[in-house]
Structure 1
Amino acid sequence: MKKTLLAIALSAAFFGCKKNTTEVPFIDPTFVNEDPSTFAEIGSIDIGDVGAAEITAFDPATKRLFVVNNSTVNKIDVIDFADPTKMTVINSISMAPYGGAVNSVAVSNGKLAAAIESTNKQADGKVAVFNTNDLKEVKVITVGALPDMITYSPDGKYIMTANEGEPNDTYANDPAGTVSIITVDQNYAVTTIDFSSMVGQRAALIAGGFRIFGIGNDFVKDIEPEYVTISADSKTAWVTLQENNGIAKIDIASKTITNIFPLGFKDYNVAGNEIDPSDRDNAVGLLAKWPVKGIYMPDAIALLEKGGVPYMFTANEGDAREYSAFAEVARVKDLRLDATAFPTGTALKADAQIGRLNVTTTLGDTDGDGDYDALYSLGARSFSIWNGLTGKRIFDSQNDLDIKALATGPGVYDDTRSDDKSVEPEGITIGKVGNKDIAVIGMERADAVAVYDVTNPARPTFLQMFKCGDAPEGVLLIPAKDSPTKKSLLIVSSENDGLVKVYTPKTF
């Protein structure tokens, strides 16, 4: 018998055996054919008032949702999310042993990481790590001042925080803005880096629209990191520098800042960028061209990688520095406008035109003579897409968020915010729903969420806009493969009313 088998084997090897060349196409067993234009609410829970439900993180192993709650006491609420239609708070983690308010949470591999500011906001903050199952403390790590956002790298090997380093009200204490990189498998060893290595680029950065301003104009102290996103291979991070109007690129392994991309300005006097700059023009959403520029100043950032290019998606909220020792904002009607740059300056100052518009006083007096030759408002009333390798802008939604808010229905576009930052895009996330890549944008002043198909990052297409809670801060997409319902879930958390709402799309 052995000889026969050996002979057959040798014969096959000598003469060659014909293989079946028909390939069976791979079918992803976790794929759900969903329509991302059909998100509808399936569940809601109220965990508090102002300061509650700012950011959420989901743990698929325990089917728990972890929610920031600073409404009455500083804590993280733990929600049973096994059935998103019947969410219940089952526990909470007090932040009292760690400092002040908790600003952000993230989950990876059964571990919850929380970014916690000090009771003295200018002092170093902390990251506390807990088990997601028994909520026991694993590690506490000291990071920079005011850790505002926290995230894990996709491989779970790193935790990163954007440490905003805001000054106190009198500017007597202005800590450096920093980024902390925590190496999980090295007993949570931390490296906190500031931006001193980039001081030599200051002039070139400012020429490109980067902002260094405030008392002292100190480059290192003036930079304020806001939000972090990390590449799929966990090697590169991008950090928004909101007040500075830029994005920093960081090499994680070497823990070095390799680039700062200044974002420039947006011209509201060109077609497609029309805005409503007045809350007292007796009209809702009256969009028109105006001689004003917008400063992109993004808050949240998310990443989509296509064809070897990392595309950075930003929610261009805008933010002002307003302290007793220094406040940058003024209304146009209170400024002296250059007669050559603004020949109709007196008329422009009317409340029904741009007189009510809030602008920065730190830009615009280009010749230093005390009047304003240009006007710059905060934020860009849009979301943008940038090349993560070069910093070049690929796409801007122009005034589409305003237009869609006006079209969605009464009360979505808040006309009382026309003179400030309009719908105020703040949160953004990217995910795959069905066979489409989508971007979800939370708009703080519209109390609404917009969904776009970004499968082609150069040509996003609008899918849907719907109302949510008051001032949505966090937008989180749970893919179908990790979802307790085995369908994609969108979680929107709102900081002004403590509502956490859950949405899911229809299937084909």
Structure 2
Amino acid sequence: MRLRLPITLPLCTTLALLSGCATNNSDTQSATSSIELNFLGRYESGVFDGSAAEIVAYDAKTHETFVVNANSGKVDVLSMKNPTSPNKIKTLDVSKDVVDLMGITLGAANSVSVHNGIMAVAIEAKPKQNMGYIAFYKIDGHAFITAVKVGALPDMVTFTHDGKQVVVANEGEPNDEYTIDPEGSVSIIAIPNDITKLSQKDVTEVSFRDFNNGGSRATERPAGLRIFGPNASVAQDLEPEYITVSKDNHYAFVSLQENNGIAKIDLSKKSVDTIWALGVKDYNKTGNELDVSDKDKTIQLQNWPVLGMYMPDTIASYMISGKTYIVTANEGDSRDYKGFSEEYRVKDLAEFNSRLALTSPLKHSIEGKLEDDKNLGRMKITSTLGAKGCELVKGAPTNCTFTELYGYGARSFSIWSGETGEQVFDSGSDFERITADRLGENGFNASNDSNKIDGRSDDKGPEPEALTLGQIDGRTYAFIGLERVGGIMVYDITTPAKSQFVQYLTSRNFDAKVDTSAAGDLGPEGMSFVSKEDSPTGQALLIVGNEVSGTTSVYGISPRQ
């Protein structure tokens, strides 16, 4: 593979001595790093590509980590007393406990959160279009307490910082035929002083029905919010994905991934405060370069006349000088169902008698046509934006003229104002530039279940998904997991608008078969930061659940020497 990297950002390169960067065979760091991650150990479930380690939550009192084993409907309990050798001490059969109590059929466990001796687990129904449940456990002794019903497909659960409420993102995904599309919603569960007295009356569903056409708040829907499911109301189309709670417990911010937006929920009023549309990223601007083809036989980071919808998955929040900021991992996600799909490749548009007439020009010369495989041809785009004059033939957009091309995700992380929803920082092309420099011909834009080089360039690149924040010695850091190529990006975000790259660290071994333990950690899905005060060793930790490898890995965080 030929390496072609136009460098426009002051990042670490292989010419480390010229830039002042520190590099070695295990990580890449910036010249101003104040901390560094080091791999300590991992627990291996032995289950490859079975979602055996997704979301993780750490309890400081017991030094236990609770790991969602999604498809089994169970939660593994790991002891972290020795972070270099985490070991499983118990498995909680959450699905069975709720079934025994409620007498219903349940599906996967999706999320877990802990606070002050109590654990909450989100479990979807079977089918997942039915109402799901939140199960509660006592951490001391791991005894099941009770469960309450929430919305369809509870995908994420979290306690507020004071532990008085539990907030749930109910994604409400349609079935594969797109004939059943439940409403997305947010559930707020008031936690009584005696958790054993928790009942269904303590659950409030925050709906988006008022934003439907003809609803009392329809005019408040922001321009650019994606509402595009077939025959769907706004409430059906919105799909809450992930939640972060403001430090003062006043607001919950909820990512609406497929809709490319964020909902701000007032937790005291138990209602929607506002909804923001996040807009798009212009990949034709300097600093936003990307590789768009998995067939070009090169690492080719350059500008292209395409736009990226941010579409965040995991989000987090923090407060600086009394102002709340939201941090997003801009993964991207398309709707691709048997009954409806918005996903197309640029080169396939000709099959539908559609053509390109892009208003944004190329900034560089290319060989062949724009829609060739080595250019934009392989890039996946949405059929719902950027097209004019379309006719629907058997559900497919036909006879379109595409003046703009919109891809999924932004291959970055961003920081947004918690007051206005305006973007204050985006990491631009950092993730692809840094991984290209670090991995080169060995693993650039590989997927998490294959060592094929450049395999994800046409889709969403490194695909940032996992995210958590941590404070160390008065500074705030963002830890971002790259779901596809693997590894952890670390940024100092203490000054939001001037956030700085700190380190990229990966344990992945591209020379090993992906379904073996020698491959390392694959598919970081969820993270938990542990402060040094809460750590069993006095060292700050980062705990990562890796969906594909089925491993839970632990990193130590130390001052940079």
Q: Return the TM-score normalized by structure 2.
A: 0.81
Q: Is the 8 A contact 2:388 2:400 kept in 1?
A: no
SS across alignment from 1:401:
helix
Q: Does 1:248 align with 2:287?
A: no
1:185 is aligned, of 188, 192, 200, to: 192
Which letter does structure 2 place at the counterpart of 1:334? D
Give the structure 2 partner of residue 384 of structure 1.
414
Aligned mates of 2:321, 2:176 — CA distance in 1: 46
SS across alignment from 2:533:
helix
SS across alignment from 2:432:
helix
Aligned mates of 2:57, 2:234 — CA distance in 1: 33
Q: Does 1:458 align with 2:497?
A: yes
Which letter does structure 2 place at the counterpart of 1:174? D
Match runs of 1:106-185 below 5 Å: 106-185=113-192
Give the structure 2 partner of residue 32 of structure 1.
none
Give the structure 1 partner of residue 108 of structure 2.
101
Aligned mates of 2:117, 2:558 — CA distance in 1: 30
Aligned mates of 2:70, 2:315 — CA distance in 1: 23
Match runs of 1:19-418 below 5 Å: 37-47=35-45, 48-49=47-48, 50-70=50-70, 73-94=72-93, 95-98=95-98, 99-185=106-192, 187-188=197-198, 189-199=202-212, 205=221, 207=223, 209-284=224-299, 286-335=300-349, 336-339=354-357, 341=359, 347-366=369-388, 368=390, 370-409=400-439, 410-414=442-446, 415-418=454-457
SS across alignment from 2:148:
strand
TM-superposed deviation, 1:148: 0.4
SS across alignment from 1:333:
helix
Aligned mates of 1:202, 1:168 — CA distance in 2: 26
Aligned mates of 2:345, 2:317 — CA distance in 1: 35
Give the structure 2 partner of residue 443 of structure 1.
482
TM-superposed deviation, 1:206: 5.5
SS across alignment from 2:455:
helix
Give the structure 2 partner of residue 506 of structure 1.
558
Q: Is the 8 A contact 1:268 1:291 kept in 2?
A: yes
Aligned mates of 1:339, 1:506 — CA distance in 2: 52
TM-superposed deviation, 1:172: 1.6
TM-superposed deviation, 1:97: 3.6
Aligned mates of 2:345, 2:183 — CA distance in 1: 30
Q: Is the 8 A contact 1:36 1:505 kept in 2?
A: no
Q: Which stretch shows the higher mean deviation, 209-218 or 453-462?
A: 209-218
Which deviations, in whole Å up to 9, do the C-alpha atoms of 1:343-377 show, x marking residues without a partner? 89981110010000000111111455622111100
Q: Is the 8 A contact 2:174 2:181 kept in 1?
A: yes
Which letter does structure 1 place at the counterpart of 2:82? D
SS across alignment from 1:275:
coil
Aligned mates of 2:356, 2:250 — CA distance in 1: 48
Give the structure 2 partner of residue 10 of structure 1.
none
Q: Is the 8 A contact 1:412 1:467 kept in 2?
A: no
Rg comparison, structure with higher value: 1
TM-superposed deviation, 1:287: 0.8
Q: Is the 8 A contact 2:280 2:308 kept in 1?
A: yes
Q: Which stretch shows the higher mean deviation, 43-52 or 312-321?
A: 43-52
Q: For structure 1, which runs of at least 5 residues remain unmatched after alignment?
A: 1-34
Match runs of 1:456-495 below 5 Å: 456-468=495-507, 469-495=521-547
TM-superposed deviation, 1:198: 2.6
Q: Is the 8 A contact 1:36 1:433 kept in 2?
A: no
TM-superposed deviation, 1:276: 0.6
Aligned mates of 1:227, 1:480 — CA distance in 2: 26
Distance 1:338 1:419, change over 3 A: closer
Aligned mates of 2:403, 2:355 — CA distance in 1: 7
TM-superposed deviation, 1:133: 1.3
Aligned mates of 2:465, 2:37 — CA distance in 1: 20
Aligned mates of 1:43, 1:340 — CA distance in 2: 50
Distance 1:131 1:204, change over 3 A: closer
Q: Is the 8 A contact 1:37 1:451 kept in 2?
A: no
TM-superposed deviation, 1:405: 1.1
Q: Is the 8 A contact 1:206 1:212 kept in 2?
A: no
Distance 1:504 1:340, change over 3 A: closer
Q: Is the 8 A contact 2:156 2:169 kept in 1?
A: yes
TM-superposed deviation, 1:144: 0.3
Which letter does structure 2 place at the counterpart of 1:62? T
Q: For structure 2, which runs of at least 5 residues remain unmatched after alignment?
A: 1-32, 99-105, 391-398, 447-453, 508-520
Q: Is the 8 A contact 1:197 1:257 kept in 2?
A: no
TM-superposed deviation, 1:116: 0.4
Distance 1:138 1:267, change over 3 A: same
Q: Does 1:496 align with 2:544?
A: no
Q: Return the TM-score normalized by structure 1.
A: 0.89
Q: Is the 8 A contact 1:36 1:434 kept in 2?
A: no
Aligned mates of 2:107, 2:253 — CA distance in 1: 27
Which letter does structure 1 place at the counterpart of 2:144? E
Aligned mates of 1:382, 1:366 — CA distance in 2: 29
SS across alignment from 1:114:
strand
Aligned mates of 2:181, 2:52 — CA distance in 1: 27
Distance 1:181 1:76, change over 3 A: same
Aligned mates of 2:183, 2:348 — CA distance in 1: 33
Q: Which stretch shows the higher mean deviation, 51-60 or 430-439?
A: 430-439
SS across alignment from 2:253:
strand
Which letter does structure 2 place at the counterpart of 1:355? G
Aligned mates of 1:120, 1:70 — CA distance in 2: 15
